[in-house]
Amino acid sequence: MAAPLTLLLLVAVTVRAALFRSSLTELISERVEVVSPLTAWKRVVEGLALLDLGVSPYSGDVFHETPLIIYLFHFVVDFAEVTFMLADVITAVALYMAVKDYNKQVFRKQKYALEADRYPHDCLELIRSPKEMYYIPLKVAMFYLLNPFTILSCVAKSTCGLNNAVIALFILSTIKGNVLLSAIFLSLATYQSIYPLTLCAPALLYLMQRQYIPVNFRRTSFWWFIAQYAFMYLGSLFVIVGLSFFLLGSWDYLPSVYGFILSVPDLTPNIGLFWYFFAEMFEHFRLFFLCVFQINVFFYTIPLSIKLKEHPVFLIFMQLAVISIFKSYPTVGDIALYLAFLPVWSHLHRFLRNIFLVSCVLLACSALFPVLWHLWIYAGSANSNFYYAITLLFNVAQILLVSDYFYAFLRREHHLTYGLYLKRKDGSEATLVLK
């Protein structure tokens, strides 16, 4: 498998390098679908210019990235293109290794269940074969590296690619069972954009499952493990925040980075749900609806964790999707990360209900984004309602896609427990209805 992965990496790097040398680079870096006020390279350059002049990069209202990012590029700004390509390569390789390890564990559990005769005899066709699972890690890497969203994000030099690399390393560390590295990378991801905090729940569930610690509130081992992970996570976060203060010499970055993410003062159009709503909002209602919108990202963590406590890797996929849909400044790079996991759930295709329709809507919206932007901003023949309508449709399609996979996953698990062909008491065929 090393040769196909190496070839894939070479192709991906070549495509990116060619686009970096083309005239499209400037156009792509200006697209509001690809960059946001948080991740735009132009703003990083502005921050670097202020830093070189001895002025705090957070003194204005331009730069909103974290101090570690600006100090990273302070040293590697001449190799920025290589840095972003390397971030994509790291993400793809980390996802490849994580999925490969996860598939081994799935196959092992499946084998034990078959030996123990836990599956009904009529659902053996749902069992996954090694041949079917063999190429899935490569497909995941391919879905990430050759996804147009990822390529555009890299060519625009959006710092979203660096965030994806940190999250991918967190997923790899978690699936490998390394508690310390999992906590460190999760703290780094949280430091970058707050929202990955919700990934703490699936990480804990997976690591406890791997160490055979039951999810039982009455068990001391359960609370002890949570305390250990929380100590490592909060300790790492404290060190990172302290290092940022040491580098910058002030706490200016806290309101400028995290206050900016949570209060959403910049209403530049993007592919998210916030900008149009708050542009039309009366000021005295703003705080209430801001809380309602922001809580969406965190609200679903508890019910999803309860429902998927036995399947934490699928929970990670769900949480990544929720973050990319409901965060305040999303870009296409955020979407590319969770779309890379779709090959992992290829065995759910027989239970998907709306996949063709949703795929068509996503493709149509992706094509219409630049068209409606041009009609609104340049031609003047449309207005913001047109652009927000396509943004809204795009997010509805994402929600339908994720909920369809959620339904398919639950249905397959139900069939593995109760059988594929359900019968009523009188022997007639029954219909499964999920409520």
Question: CA–CA separation, 370 vs 377, rounded Å?
Answer: 10
Distances (CA, A) of 67 to 47, 227, 244: 10, 29, 6
- Residue whose structure tokens are 């499209």: 24
pLDDT of residue 425: 65
pLDDT of residue 426: 65
State both tokens at 134.
């063999």
pLDDT of residue 435: 60
What is the full DSSP assignment across 259-303?
IHHHH-------SSSHHHHHHSS-GGGHHHHHHHHHHHHHHTHHH
Distances (CA, A) of 262 to 326, 339, 350: 12, 25, 40
pLDDT of residue 400: 96
Cβ atoms of residues 192 and 166 within 8 Å: yes
The residue type at 34: V
Sequence-distant (6+) residues with CB within 8 A of 366 are 148, 394
69, 71, 72, 74 alpha-carbon torsion, rounded to 10°: 120
DSSP for residue 129: P
Cβ atoms of residues 297 and 327 within 8 Å: yes
Rg (CA), the chain: 23
Residues listed for the chain: 435
State both tokens at 263.
């209060």
pLDDT of residue 171: 97
Cα angle: 238, vertex 243, 247; to 5 degrees = 150
pLDDT of residue 16: 95
- Residue whose structure tokens are 């690591």: 207
Whose CA is closest to 194, among 267, 131, 254? 254
- Residue whose structure tokens are 């065995």: 347
Condensed to tens digits (0 to 9), the pLDDT of residues 309-358 reads 999 999 999 999 999 999 999 999 999 999 999 999 999 998 999 899 99
Question: CA–CA separation, 42 vs 209, rounded Å?
Answer: 44
Question: CA–CA separation, 352 vs 347, rounded Å?
Answer: 10
Q: Which residues of the chain have pLDDT under 70?
A: 1, 422-435
State both tokens at 391.
């943004």
Cα angle: 332, vertex 333, 339; to 5 degrees = 85
